[in-house]
Structure 1
């Protein structure tokens, strides 16, 4: 079960992230890459930056209206579709829970061998905080983790983020600000907050799924069918 408003919020902060929470990889990757392309062409991040600084004339100057009109429709669709999908999937979850639908504890595929076990949410959070994608790899979400990892590497490279962090640690704050490419850097906060939240919550929900599968297995294999529970 997921809160539709939370999923819609992450689609609002970055198109495609709401779909990534549902493991709808094709839709998520298309929306994320489209967001990167259209944002670069229309300079939306620079417009946001100058608006936050109160320089609205400069914000209007850097925005490219030809691309901006394309940005709005896809942006609104990502929010709406992630909200609608969450409601539909929640209904599917309720039906599956009532029917005691079987849960596959082990799956071997070309990407990875995945299995249900207990994971520590704080460990997933720490790895995601150190670098986006590592927490998802810890949870065996290989496709999400690998994509987020590569995508973050690209953002850090073009935004000169790691170089700026290095200069800041040396105390060269003015030089750190000068080398940052803010059009690329403003992608990073949304990515960073999303991966920390999603890895932690995914670990918690996987633990619940593990306990549910164990309960179902014990009831099917060991509980006497003639046993009458007191309630």
Structure 2
């Protein structure tokens, strides 16, 4: 059910738990994040169901095929050990879904950009506030650096600040799981004490190698999302003032 059923396209949708919006995105950036971690490109597009399916599939199939360990040993130059740990039966299943995530992220970004341009030219109406029994959500100005700092402290917090509750809650729980399985926090504790040998012993690298992709993506996406939500707020205000206060006989420069 759309918030404005009489218009052909929407620029944004507000629910109690998230702000879904169309904005121009670089298809290559989306493809890159889909390459670094299947599902992340779709998170950038706010396609949460597809994104969660791809992320959970990546977690399962990567673990079964030991892809991260194979990457680690390859980077260390231990190619024979990389061959030993890789499970070829699962690895073949990994490739198809991995390539699909990259291709679909790139393709759908181009389509979404076209939809945004058309909606912007139609001057589509934008929602400003929604309320329900669980929560309330509204357009307002956010500080991108605040979203970045909270995301840097722990993935998911920046998106909760931006009121993307679905995204923020999922990535928060997912990151907690990765930290637990990889013993990342324990490794950080030993590193802070200067016991680097013990830190290396406790780390489970199969899970640890997920963390850099998650961490960098969440910081980047929270900052970009804050910037785009601010643009959406300004566009809604401009739309309202033009409709309510601008003289209808005013001749625009173009």
Q: How would you bin the TM-score normalised by the shorter chain?
A: over 0.9
Q: Whose RCO is larger (CA < 8 A, sep 6+)?
A: 2
* 1:117 and 2:140 aligned: yes
Q: CA deviation at 1:114?
A: 1.7
For the 8 Å contact 1:11–1:82, the answer to whether it is kept is yes
Q: Quote the residue 1:63 is aligned against.
A: 86
Q: CA deviation at 1:106?
A: 1.2
Q: CA deviation at 1:88?
A: 0.4
Q: Quote the residue 1:222 is aligned against.
A: 245
Paired with 1:82 and 1:109, the residues of 2 have a C-alpha distance of: 32
Q: Quote the residue 1:23 is aligned against.
A: 46
Q: Quote the residue 1:79 is aligned against.
A: 102
CA deviations 1:180-208 (Å, max 9, x no partner) are: 00000000000000000000000001111
Q: Provide closer, same or farther for how the CA distance between residues 111 and 77 of structure 1 changes in structure 2, counting only shifts above 3 A.
A: farther
Paired with 1:110 and 1:54, the residues of 2 have a C-alpha distance of: 57
1:212 aligns with one of 235, 240, 254:
235
Q: CA deviation at 1:72?
A: 0.1
Q: Quote the residue 2:6 is aligned against.
A: none
Paired with 2:30 and 2:141, the residues of 1 have a C-alpha distance of: 24
1:172 aligns with one of 179, 182, 195:
195
1:47 aligns with one of 67, 70, 80:
70
- Is the deviation greater in 6-15 or in 111-120? 111-120
SS of 2:137's equivalent in the other structure is: strand
Q: Provide closer, same or farther for how the CA distance between residues 176 and 34 of structure 1 changes in structure 2, counting only shifts above 3 A.
A: same
Paired with 2:214 and 2:135, the residues of 1 have a C-alpha distance of: 24
Q: Provide closer, same or farther for how the CA distance between residues 64 and 191 of structure 1 changes in structure 2, counting only shifts above 3 A.
A: same
Q: Quote the residue 2:217 is aligned against.
A: 194
Paired with 2:252 and 2:230, the residues of 1 have a C-alpha distance of: 26
Q: CA deviation at 1:172?
A: 0.7
Q: Quote the residue 2:155 is aligned against.
A: 132
Paired with 1:109 and 1:168, the residues of 2 have a C-alpha distance of: 46
TM-score normalised by the chain length of structure 1: 0.98
CA deviations 1:75-129 (Å, max 9, x no partner) are: 0000000111100000000000101001111123566322111100000000000
TM-score normalised by the chain length of structure 2: 0.89
* 1:161 and 2:176 aligned: no
Q: Quote the residue 2:116 is aligned against.
A: 93
The structure whose residues are more often helix, as a share, is 1
Paired with 1:222 and 1:160, the residues of 2 have a C-alpha distance of: 59
Give the gaps of 5 or more residues in structure 2: 1-23
